[in-house]
Amino acid sequence: MNKILNASLAVALVLASFWGTVRANSPYAQAAAVASTSDQLRKQIVDGLSQRLSTFEVTFTDTASTLKSTIKSTLEAAVASDDYLHFTVKTYGYNASIEDSTATITFEFTYWETAAQTASVKNKIAEALRSIIKPGMNDHQKEKAIHDWIVTHIAYDKSLVSHSAYDGLFNGTTVCQGYALITYEMMKQAGIPVKIVEGTSRGIAHTWNLVQIGGKWYHLDSTWDDPVPDVAGRSTYAYYNLTDAQIKADHRWNAQAAYPLAVTGYDATLTSLAAKDAARKTYYTQMYTTLGFPYLTSTYSAATVDELTKKIAAAAKLKQKELTLRYERGATVQSDMKKAFNAQKGLKGFSYTYEDFPRTPQNDKLLRIKLKY
């Protein structure tokens, strides 16, 4: 996602709200489902969520003295039991009438998506996967195909109104929550372990994914890889398969949450695979370049103004028209570029753009420089 729009994104995720009240000795007239254990209660709630019921009742009997807290914790566990359900629920809560060890509970929910819409999402994704997943693909190749399909078929909703996977697939736009849900369902149907992460990015509420490829977990943020304004057919990879340390440069999440650790650099994974899997060596080598890993080497990076000046001079000597490199002094990139070009000879002019390089935890920038002779 284009950094220019960061300040205008406001709240990209509306988190589910929760309310709960308990009313003693207030009977309900209608019949309710019955649960005698917290596990049975959780299953009743999950069933209601799966049907996208807006309200339903359960009579819950528990001899423990913590009946009130059990209802609340069981409800929260039910909502969190499945990532797709969790992020499709808009608000949730309950009212409970308690007498002795029995509670008659009315659960109330609102959703971003109806049951029929969710069914349409699953069918649409199955159709898309049939067109992009080819025989013989491994999980690395499937992941890229899914990532590219999402980024090239969905646009970010700058109005911040659309939040669901259905919005993204059938109306063409959604916010990060919808991107994460689509990524989740596509990966899941393709047989790739996946989770949805909630936190913040650059101070804004945000969701993205963790995917398990080859037994290793990686962060995948399809929202931030989609250019804004939308560019037809363009896919970027700045937030593709990052480690915890890499994505922490501009993402935050609850360290106490039960998310798997992402600690293996994908560059090392691709290098190892290229050496072992001859049939896919070309794919791994191309991905290594596509994901920008050469810019982690000294050949394609500069750590100081002096190194930057020398890199530009070397390119000018060879009459190169374009030069791309990683610059490690991102905070002073503009003033340092002026110094570097003032020291050049034989150039009629220059222009440059820069973008964040999130594969390193510091404030590095990827410089794209054009030279005029």
Instruction: Tell me, yes or no, whether 94 and 211 share the same domain.
Output: no
Residue 67's pLDDT band (cuts 50, 70, 90): confident
Q: Is residue 335 part of a domain?
A: yes
Instruction: Tell me, yes or no, whether 136 and 273 share the same domain.
Output: yes
Is residue 250 predicted with pLDDT exceeding 80?
A: yes
Instruction: Tell me, yes or no, whether 171 and 245 share the same domain.
Output: yes
Instruction: Tell me, yes or no, whether 261 and 300 share the same domain.
Output: no
Domain boundary among 56, 88, 111: 111
Is residue 11 predicted with pLDDT exceeding 50?
A: no
CATH code, domain with 236:
3.10.620
Instruction: Tell me, yes or no, whether 277 and 331 share the same domain.
Output: no
What is the crossing angle of helices 38-50 and 67-79, to 10°?
40
Which strands, in side-by-side order, build the sheet including 55-61? 17-24, 89-99, 102-111, 55-61, 33-35
Instruction: Tell me, yes or no, whether 139 and 187 share the same domain.
Output: yes
What one-character DSSP code corresponds to residue 318? Answer: T
Is residue 233 predicted with pLDDT exceeding 70?
A: no
Based on the structure, what is the number of domains in the chain? 3
Instruction: Tell me, yes or no, whether 253 and 184 share the same domain.
Output: yes
- Mean of the pLDDT values across residues 177-199? 98
- Mean of the pLDDT values across residues 150-165? 95
Q: Is residue 341 part of a domain?
A: yes
Neighbour-count burial of 130, counting CB atoms closer than 10 A to its CB (0-12 exposed, 13-18 middle, 19+ buried): exposed
Q: Is residue 220 part of a domain?
A: yes
| pTM of the complete model | 0.86
CATH code, domain with 54:
3.30.110
Instruction: Tell me, yes or no, whether 171 and 252 share the same domain.
Output: yes
372's CB contacts (< 8 A; 6+ apart) are: 347, 348, 349, 350, 351
3-state secondary structure of 103: strand
- Mean of the pLDDT values across residues 310-336? 96
Instruction: Tell me, yes or no, whether 136 and 106 share the same domain.
Output: no
pLDDT in tens, 87-110: 999 999 999 998 888 999 999 999
Q: What is the pLDDT of residue 230?
A: 58
CATH code, domain with 314:
3.30.1370
CA 223 to each of CA 31, 89, 127, 230: distance values in angstroms, whole numbers, following the listed order: 45, 20, 22, 11
Domain interval for residue 299: 294-372
CA-CA distance, 60 to 62, in Å (whole number)? 7
Is residue 320 predicted with pLDDT exceeding 60?
A: yes
Is residue 65 predicted with pLDDT exceeding 90?
A: no
CA-CA distance, 281 to 286, in Å (whole number)? 9
